[in-house]
Structure 1
């Protein structure tokens, strides 16, 4: 796909009124905002550029059946609850089987249980809990206040919702590869009027192929995600690409071991193909640096690590 600054072409008629009250996306050449009630002038097709740096909202990109990128001629579809920007969006006969750890989180059961017991078990490994992790992340994100935040591998939107409710950002994009995680996110959001009225978009995409223009995003968050990525190096390279100069990346994950781990235990925790990619802190720092990020910093508690790096 071409970058999201490419002109988009609607694949359905434009006369239908938007009956929904949520899921916003962005256009670049407008000073007005469309509302769920249909207020404001409807943009022309030439105005419908999905440049993520801007705050006006383009509802039809989410609620029409799809749109086409005029640069690469690729069609993308909307699933009513989220916008599907994966490579395989719209395919009918072709399908891909992802690694087991990726497919696990596409399961309806795991998606349902994630905030209903699954995530709470992270406390056993030193995770301080969502509220404290959110506060810690907000400290790192202070340079990005007022900008656009993308919550990659957002799962059921646990942190996406917190970022949106905080009012700190001009917009928040909850992005995940799992369709069922995004559906769970939708279910949580529609029960909270304060989030319904926020600048929040749900997008399906691959973290190794982020559908945003280079240098177009102010902040990227990846909560308890890095160990689930098939290729952490590709993912962090993509995150570095989309961050603007001065943009901030904050992530949390499980460490394979820490400096306090006894030496005789470490061989038992070596990485094995096909399993989760648990790294040590030196590897995370090396990845961030190699992918062009600077000012790496971190906080470690048992197997929990929150790390941050900036785009120079």
Structure 2
């Protein structure tokens, strides 16, 4: 029987102890013996996390939220968090940024926190479906993305405990998600661990407003919605501490687009 991890099986390890996975209909860690269930071809590396784990997870698993995410929720979320009232940040600009910084890379590419798959499609067009792995914590998001991108390889996993081996990836893209993670600095360290020397990390998130009024709005959003903006120097420090070199950091309004690379020596 073929591995549910398909052609990417050699890239994956147990996220708990990083032990080698034993192939079979249900991948199992060779060291800690943890089994990872498979549903509709998607390997679940965090089966212990359910919709009842916390409020945020429940929202991400809500079918109505998933259905409205791309056409309504994301559009207005970006408009508010990025203060993008002038429309300077567009999906076309986001696509062009990925094409510029991510397309030239070699090796497997991870779409980290892929959501409903809008930018998974962009990555698939840039690097090829056969090189792409898409990961998200929400089963409902993965189902929605898999429905429109049936040939992309999806797994369920935690951004702060990636089920991938050291130096296994040519690139990682975390698009409009870093601000939602409970521990973004840990996620950046995990990205660096999994990147090959010369590998690239691209990210879209949000900078902290310096104006007191909009800063208050962002702080309220952060407290009530679990969403946090970043200071540019804060991100630079995390990237540097993780062993990455910043190549680009900018973006219109409060949108923050960044690219960092893992040194080759």
TM-score bracket, shorter-length normalisation = 0.7 to 0.9
Answer yes or no: is the 8 Å Cα contact 2:239–2:246 preserved in 1.
Answer: no
- Is 2:150 the counterpart of 1:187? no
Question: Matches of residues 212-227 of structure 1 in structure 2 within 5 Å?
Answer: 212-227=164-179
Select the structure of larger CA radius of gyration. Answer: 1
Answer yes or no: is the 8 Å Cα contact 2:218–2:228 preserved in 1.
Answer: no
Aligned to 1:139: 100
Aligned to 1:100: 55
CA 1:183 to 1:135, structure 2 compared with 1: closer, same or farther past 3 Å? same
- TM-score (normalised: structure 2): 0.81
Deviation at 1:106, TM superposition (A): 2.2
| Match for residue 200 of structure 2 among 228, 241, 248 | 248
Secondary structure at 2:116 match in 1:
coil
Q: Structure 2: any 5+ residue segments left out of the alignment?
A: 13-22
Aligned to 1:116: 71
- Residue by residue over 1:238-269, the C-alpha shift from the partner in whole angstroms, topping out at 9 and shown as x without a partner, is 11110111110011112221xxx435654664
CA 1:274 to 1:135, structure 2 compared with 1: closer, same or farther past 3 Å? closer
CA 1:304 to 1:186, structure 2 compared with 1: closer, same or farther past 3 Å? same
Aligned to 1:288: 239
Q: Structure 1: any 5+ residue segments left out of the alignment?
A: 1-13, 28-48, 53-60, 90-94, 191-195
Q: RMSD of the TM alignment (CA)?
A: 2.8
- Residue by residue over 1:202-254, the C-alpha shift from the partner in whole angstroms, topping out at 9 and shown as x without a partner, is 11000011000010001000110011001101111111110111110011112
Aligned to 1:210: 162
Deviation at 1:143, TM superposition (A): 4.2
Answer yes or no: is the 8 Å Cα contact 1:223–1:253 preserved in 2.
Answer: yes
- TM-score (normalised: structure 1): 0.70
C-alpha distance in 2, partners of 1:255/1:133?
16
